Amino acid sequence: MIRENKLKYLISSALIILPSIVALFIKAPLGGMMRGAWVFTWLLPLILLLVHTGLLILTRYIDHVKQNKKIENIIFFTIPTISLYTGAIFIAIILGLKVDIGLVVGILMGVGFIIIGNYMPKAERNRTFGVKLKWTVANDDNWNATHRLAGKLFVVAGIISLITAFLPSTVMFIILTVQLVVIVAVPTVYSYLFYKKAIETGSATEEDYATDNKFSGKTVTIVAISILSVVIIIGVLVGAGGLKFDFTDDALLVKPSFGGGIELNYSELEDATIEYRDSSVDGTRVMGYGSATLLYGHFVNDEFGNYTRYTYTRGKASIVIYTNEGVIVIADKSTEETRAIYDELVTRVNAND
């Protein structure tokens, strides 16, 4: 697919890294707050570029169906759109603007659902775009009927997503989860029932549903390994990782397992207010990492506005540091460990006076 669309590939790739180029020319008020900002300005776009290229190569390898231009454009420009959207959010954050991440994600999901739903019925039978089931990829009638239904479901899901984008994030997440289950489960069941009815009424035979040999064992293996790798990576990111708090002669170094981190120099904290709290700090993640174990990156809440945090998720205590550049929140696993970090940090900052 890349070979036949070189210009389109170059344009889509350029759009993916465009936010990184723009970020180079921004003097950010929050630039010193998060030393791991490069993860979002460069690493994330580069990962998206690799994924974009890999998917296009895989698409060309497993599917030789020539799609219409509109479907082709969706395949080429979905990841660039995601990169531009997330890049714009992060640039807004480093400029000190308050961003409602739930709202922007809800709008993106809504518009995406509507666009995909509009074009699903127009897609030719293939193995890279659409509802790719045993019965749909083997039979044109099943494919067309299933995608007419799926297209309607996606459009409805898009409209609902646009509406729920203005609701609290918890409510939006629940509704989005239900929608995803529906738009996956309903077309799957419908496709199977369509197949069964066709066989029972004699309008189709098992031979009509015989899968051709395009989907070779080698291709199946590649796809299976890719899916398994993604599942493993997600599982590790969700459940693994930790924070390391190291006191050196000059600074407290906070290092998360998955990159980034922050360096709190004692000399720079002489004019800062360091506050210990017996409670955790709330906030909505705007840009950063969140799992069952860790929360770090840029967050926002009503008390601080935009702030930076490096905390465990289950801790009941926190350290709030008010600096000239903004607020930083850190916390270890337990109340006792967080208190020990606070005492040590205050002692070293006072000794540096």
pLDDT tens for each residue of 67-111: 566 677 777 888 888 888 877 777 776 666 666 667 777 888 899
User: Residue 28 CB: number of other CB atoms within 10 A?
Assistant: 17
Residues 198, 266 share a domain: no
Domain housing 13: 3-239
| Residue 25 token pair | 């020319």
Residues 207, 136 share a domain: yes
Residues 262, 209 share a domain: no
Residues 295, 308 share a domain: yes
- In this predicted structure, the answer to whether residue 311 has a pLDDT above a threshold of 90 is yes
Residues 344, 226 share a domain: no
Percent of the chain at pLDDT exceeding 70: 76
Q: Which of 189-193, 240-244, 289-293, 334-338 has the lowest mean pLDDT?
A: 289-293
Among 208, 239, 270, the domain boundary falls at 239
pTM for the full predicted model: 0.60
- Given this model, what pLDDT does residue 211 score? 64
- Domain total of the chain: 2
Residues 297, 208 share a domain: no
Among 189, 210, 239, the domain boundary falls at 239
Residues 231, 126 share a domain: yes
What CATH number should be reported for the domain holding residue 326? 2.30.29
Tell how far CA 154 is from the center of its chain: 20
Residues 287, 232 share a domain: no
- Given this model, what pLDDT does residue 269 score? 92
